[in-house]
Structure 1
C-alpha cells in the first residue's frame, strides 16, 4: 500500500509540474525572439522533455531554418519553409509537433493529432527514427505507416497513435479500408518535400486525402525547392502562411556552399567505362550513383558485383521489398567506403552521413531533380562533390536550364590514361549467364523508354541515341528490338502516305522530262517526329480461367469433349462419364449460381453408383482369377510329364563321377552321407505334414496320392 501511495503522489506531482511548465511556456511564446538572436535550442521556449531528447541526440545549436521556423509553428501559424539540403528541416517541423501535443496535454486515448506525409518510404522511415530519438521522454505514441509493411498490424493500431508518419498511398488506403481510422481529431498537417507531394504524381492521391481532413488545422510545408503556386496554397487551405527563406529559388538558398559541382560530356556508349574507372580511382570514398530506372540500377549492380571493383556495392530501387530497402539504407549509412546505385527514391530528404561523391550517370529531368540529387552530399556544413554525366545532345539544353536557376557548374575533362574498359569481361559474363543477359536487355529498353517519355525534348531526344553502340557497351552482342518506336515509325509513315493521296495538298509538275511525276508539298510542313507522342494500343482485360468457364457455361459450349463411334457410326456413350442421377428441373436455373443442396444430393447418388460399379468390377476380377487357376490345375499333369521327359533327355555324361571324387577324400564322403541323411529326413517330415481334408477336389487328391506313392517307391 505504501508503494502505491508513493506512485500516486508522483503522478500528481508530475501533473502539477506539467501544468506549471505549460503555463510558463505559453507566456514565453509572446516574448520569444526569432532569428539570429537564438543560437541554441535551450534559448527557445521548449519543454524540458524535448530539450533532454535533443541534448541526448547531440542537437545543441539550431540552424537558420530551425531558428526562423520553430517559433511561428509553436504559435500556431502556417509555415512554408525553404532551406538548403541538409540544413535540418526535419527538426524544424518535428519539434513544433512534439510541443503541440505536450502543450495540449494529448494522451493516447485522444486519437490522431498530427500527420506527417513524406513522398518516399525511406524518408518516412528516417523521420520516424528522428522522432523516436528526440521524443523519447514524452508519453505520446507514434506510428510509421508505409507500403510494404503488415497492413493488418497497422490497421489494428492506427487508432492508438497520436502522430502518424506516412506515405500518401498507404494513408489513403487506410482512409478507404480501415474503419478504425478517424482523422477528425487531427490538428496539425506536415508535408515534407512539399513540392514533390503536390506535383502531378501525387495530385489525385493528395486531393483525396485532404478531403478527409478538418479544415480548421495548422499546416507546415518544408522542402529545398518549395512550391509558391496559389493553386497549391488554396488546395491545402493555408491561412496567411509565413514564408521562411527566399520566395524565389536562388542557388544560394538551395545549393550547399561547400558543394563543388562539375559535369563531364561523354558518349552514351562510354558511360559504363567511365563509371568503372571512376569507382576504381575512388575506392576509399563513399558515393551515390544515380540512374533513371530500376532496371538500370539492378543490371549495373549485378554486373559490377561480377567484376568485383574492390569496394562494397549496394543497390536501392523501388521494386525491392520494404524490409530489404530499409536494411540497405541502414547498411549504407553505417559504412564509410561503399558505392550505392540508386534511383530517385534516394534523391529526396535522405540524410546519408559523410557522402563524398554524388554521380548522376543519367541526366536529371530538370534543375529541381538535379538539386535534390546533388544535395545528398555536402550536408551539415561538410564538403562534398557532385559529378553530372551528360551526352553531347544533352549538354546545351541542360546547362542552359541550370544557368537559368543560377546554378554555377563547371565543365571538366577526363584523363584517357585513367580509363579502363571492362567490356570484354562484361561480354564474357553475359555469355555464361542468361539471366544477366536478360537483365541487360531490360536495362537497355528501360533507358530508351525513360528518354522517350521525358517532357523536355530540347534535352532528351531518343532519335539521337546510337542503339547499336549502346547495346554493345552493356555487353549485348545483338541489339534488342525497340517495338514501341517501330510502331511509332509505322504510324508516322502511314500518316505521311495518307497525306500523299490528298489532291488539295500536292500538285503535279510536268516541267522536267526526267521525272514523269514529281510531287511538291505546298501548304504545310512535315511533322517533327521528335515531339510526336506515342499512342500505345490499349491493353485488353486479361480473362481468367474462371471468367472463361463462366462464359462457356453461359453460351452452352462444351469444351474438349471427346466422342467415340462404332463401326455403324453410332456414338458410343461411356456411362462412367455420365451422371446416373436424373437432374432436377430447378438445377442450373438458380440466378445466384450453383444450388449447393441439389449438388450435394447429386454427388451422394453418384457415390452410390460408383460403389456398386466397383463391387461388380471386383467380382469380375475374382471370377477371372479363379478360372485362370482352374485352367492351370487341369493342365498340371501334362506339364509334369513333359518336365520328366525333358529331364530324361538331358545329356549329363560330361559331368564327373561323384563317387570317385568323394572316395579320394574321406572327409568329403562323410559330409556327403550326412547331408543325404538330412535330406531324406526332411522329405519324410514334409510327407507327414501333408493333411487330407474333405475340401480337396478330386484332381488335387489324385495328385497328392501319386506323389506319396512315388516317394515310397
Structure 2
C-alpha cells in the first residue's frame, strides 16, 4: 500500500514539475530577448513555474512600469539603480530577480546565505518579508527577518540556515561582528531598499562596515523613490556598469492622483487645527507626521483622553518591536483610524486605503515631503496630502518644493469649524503629573529638532515664541532647554573674546601713545617714533621749528577720546575673568579660614540680649583645658582623650533619662497623680519604687504597718519600698474603691498630662 502511494506521488510529481535543469537552460535562453514593450503580464516574463505560481496566488497579474523595465536587467545579472514614484511596486522589482537567481543557482536550504536585503526601518523590512513569503511559498529556500527588538540568541542559532536575509543595517552588522556562524562568502545578491536613506549620514559608518565585509563578486540593486546619484555613494558600493532605470524621471515625483495643498498656521494653533481636522474627518483613514518620538507620544496620550470619536494609534521608534508590528497590522486592518507617526512610517510602507496624509511638522527637505506624501494615493488610488507650515517656514519650503517641480496650492481654514480643546488639556495636565512631564519632553524635543535642522532658511529658532507655544501644550511655565542655553553661552563667550581682543589692541595702542608722549621733549625722536608706529591711534603732529617753547612744538589732535580710561581696562578684565572662575572646595575652605568663621555654629540670644550658643560646655577637667587653648591647630590625640572623658558624663546623663522615661511609663500605667508637686520646692521621692525591681505579687498591708507611717510626710519607721508605695497609694486614692488583695482594680484614675510629666522630669534632674 505504501509503495503504491509512493509511485502515485512520484508519477504526479514528475508530471506536474518539469526537470529543473531543462527549465533553467530554457529560461536562460530567453533572458537576452526580454522586451519591456511587449510585456503585458507576468506570464510574458521568463520566470520559473514556482515564481509564476506564487505571483498568481498573491493576485499579482500585471507588472508596473518599474517592474517591466528593471526585471529584465536584473535577471541578466547586471547592477541596477531603480527610481520610481512611491507606490509603483519597487518591492516586487527586486524580490522576483532574487528568487530567480537562487533558483538558477540551484540554491537549497543548506547552501548558506545567497541574498541580503537591507532596509532602513524595521517596519519596511517586515513588509518585505511578508511579501516574500507570499510569492516565494513554492520555492525550496528559507528566509529570515533580522531586525532589532527580536531575540538575538534565537537569530544566532539559525543564521546559517537562512538563504535570504531581510534586515536593518545595525542588526546585520551586529551579527557580522559577534556571530561566528554567520558566513557570507557565498553571497550572490545585495539589495538596498530606500537606498538614499541607507547611504546617508545617519547610516554612513554602519554601511561602510557592512560593505567592507561583503564579497566584491556580487550583483547589487538599489531602489528608492528619490535615488542617489552621488559618485561617492556609488564608489562605496563598487557598482559595475550599473543600469539606471527611472520610468518617471520626466514626470512628477509624486503620484498623479495625489491632491496636494498647504496651510499656514501659527505654532500655538497647531494642536487646535489637528483636533478640529480629526473631528471633521471621523470616518477616514489619516496619518499625521510629527518631528520627534516624544511629540508623537504626547499627542497620542492627549488625544486618547480627549476621545475624538475614532481610533487613535501611535508609531514611533522607541516602542518595543512586537508592539510596533501590532500597531502596523492594526492600522492596515482598520478603515477609520488616525495614526500619529514619526518619519519611520514615511518610507516604503504600503498602508492600504489611506485618505489623508497630514504633515503637522515641516519636513526636513523636499525628498522627505515626497516620501511622506507617498503614503497615500498608492497603486492608482486617490489621496490627499496637507502640509502645515509656520509663517517663517512658508517662503523657504515652497522654494525647496519648486526645485523638485512640486507645485502645491495654499488653502485657508474655515474658522467656523475650529474649536480649541485647550481647557480640557490644561485640566488633564493639572491632574496627571506624568502627562505633564510628557508635555515638557515634547516641547523640548520640538525645539531641538528645529534647532538642529540644516536649512536655516526654513527652520528659524529665533522666531519661535517659547512661552506661547508651551501654553498651547498645556504647560504653565516654559521648560528649560539646555541646548539653547549652551548656544547662548557660546555666543556670549564669543562676544567676550571679541571684546578682549579689542581691549588688548586698545591697550597696546595706549602704551605706544604713552611712550611717544614721554619722548616728547625731543622733537626728532618723537617724529621717529611716529614714523615707526604706523598702527598707533590717529594723531596729527605739527612740528614747527619757529616756535620758541618746546611745549608749543607739539599739537595733538585725538580722534579716540577713550584712551584716557585705558588704565582701568586691565582691572576690568581681571574682574570679568574672576567671575567665570569656578570656585574649588579648597579655595572656599581657605577663604573661610581667612575670615575666621566658626563652621557649623549657630548663635542664639536670650531674653536679656546676651549671646548664647547651642554648644554644650565640656564637663571634664581635661575638656575645659582643651576648650580654652589658644592654638589653632587640632591635636588629634588630645581630642580623643577629651571625647573619652566626655563620654562618661554622657553615659550618666543617658541613664538618668532612661530612668525618667521608665518612671513616666509606670506612673501612667498605675495612675499616679503628681499635681501636688506643683507648689512644692523640695520633694521627697523616697516613696518611689525601684525601677529595676519587678513587682509581680500583690502586697497585703496590715493595720499595724499603717500606724508606723506618718501621713504628714515624715517616716517614723523604715518600711520596705513596696509597702511605702502601697501606703502612699492608699493615702492618695482614699476616695477610690481600691483593694490591694488583687481582686479589685483601681477605678477612675486620672492619667498624667504632658505638663505633669515634664514637671516630674525637672524635679528628678534637680
Task: Tell me the TM-score normalized by structure 2.
Answer: 0.67
| 1:17 aligned to which of 19, 22, 28 | 19
Any idea what SS the aligned residue of 1:214 has?
coil
The alpha-carbon distance between structure 1 residues 512 and 233, as it changes in their structure 2 partners (threshold 3 A), is closer
Matched residue, 1:567: 644
Q: Distance in 1 between matches of 2:284 and 2:698?
A: 98
Please tell me whether residue 32 in structure 1 is matched to residue 109 in structure 2: no
- What 5-or-longer segments of structure 1 have no aligned partner? 519-562, 572-630, 653-713
The alpha-carbon distance between structure 1 residues 16 and 41, as it changes in their structure 2 partners (threshold 3 A), is closer
Give matches, 1:667-686, under 5 Å. Answer: none
Shift of 1:152: 0.8
Per-residue Cα deviation, 1:484-503 (whole angstroms, up to 9, x for no partner): 21232122123213322334
Check the 8 A contact 1:245/1:253 in 2, yes or no: no
Per-residue Cα deviation, 1:68-123 (whole angstroms, up to 9, x for no partner): 01111111111100001000000000011111111221100000101100000000
Any idea what SS the aligned residue of 1:325 has?
helix
Check the 8 A contact 1:258/1:382 in 2, yes or no: yes
Matched residue, 1:456: 455
The alpha-carbon distance between structure 1 residues 107 and 262, as it changes in their structure 2 partners (threshold 3 A), is same
Shift of 1:504: 6.6
Query: Quick check: which has more Rg, 1 or 2?
Result: 2
Per-residue Cα deviation, 1:212-261 (whole angstroms, up to 9, x for no partner): 111010011100000111221111111111111169x65x2521011111
Please tell me whether residue 233 in structure 1 is matched to residue 234 in structure 2: yes
Shift of 1:201: 0.7
Per-residue Cα deviation, 1:411-452 (whole angstroms, up to 9, x for no partner): 111111111111111111111111111100000000000000
Q: Distance in 2 between matches of 1:490 and 1:349?
A: 42
Matched residue, 1:59: 60
Task: Tell me the TM-score normalized by structure 1.
Answer: 0.72
The alpha-carbon distance between structure 1 residues 565 and 515, as it changes in their structure 2 partners (threshold 3 A), is closer
Q: Distance in 2 between matches of 1:424 and 1:195?
A: 44
The alpha-carbon distance between structure 1 residues 501 and 333, as it changes in their structure 2 partners (threshold 3 A), is same
RMSD: 3.0
Please tell me whether residue 185 in structure 1 is matched to residue 169 in structure 2: no
Q: Distance in 2 between matches of 1:426 and 1:637?
A: 73
Check the 8 A contact 1:78/1:241 in 2, yes or no: yes
Q: Which stretch of the first structure deviates more once superposed, 643-652 or 305-314?
A: 643-652
Shift of 1:306: 0.8
Please tell me whether residue 139 in structure 1 is matched to residue 140 in structure 2: yes
How many residue pairs align between the two structures? 545
Q: Distance in 2 between matches of 1:275 and 1:260?
A: 19
Per-residue Cα deviation, 1:32-61 (whole angstroms, up to 9, x for no partner): 322x32121111111122111111111111
Q: Distance in 1 between matches of 2:108 and 2:485?
A: 62
Q: Which stretch of the first structure deviates more once superposed, 479-488 or 340-349?
A: 479-488
Q: Distance in 1 between matches of 2:647 and 2:97?
A: 89
Q: Distance in 2 between matches of 1:637 and 1:216?
A: 107
Q: Distance in 2 between matches of 1:435 and 1:304?
A: 15
The alpha-carbon distance between structure 1 residues 20 and 472, as it changes in their structure 2 partners (threshold 3 A), is same
Any idea what SS the aligned residue of 2:62 has?
coil
Shift of 1:20: 2.3
Q: Distance in 1 between matches of 2:138 and 2:399?
A: 51
Shift of 1:335: 0.6
Matched residue, 2:112: 111
- What 5-or-longer segments of structure 2 have no aligned partner? 510-536, 539-557, 567-639, 649-692, 703-721, 728-737, 745-766
Higher relative contact order (Cα pairs below 8 Å, separated by 6+ residues): 1
Matched residue, 2:219: 218
Q: Distance in 2 between matches of 1:158 and 1:637?
A: 88
Check the 8 A contact 2:440/2:475 in 1, yes or no: yes
The alpha-carbon distance between structure 1 residues 181 and 569, as it changes in their structure 2 partners (threshold 3 A), is farther
Shift of 1:281: 1.1
Matched residue, 1:81: 82
Matched residue, 1:549: none
Matched residue, 1:361: 360
The alpha-carbon distance between structure 1 residues 93 and 564, as it changes in their structure 2 partners (threshold 3 A), is farther
The alpha-carbon distance between structure 1 residues 442 and 4, as it changes in their structure 2 partners (threshold 3 A), is same
Shift of 1:511: 6.8
Any idea what SS the aligned residue of 2:407 has?
coil
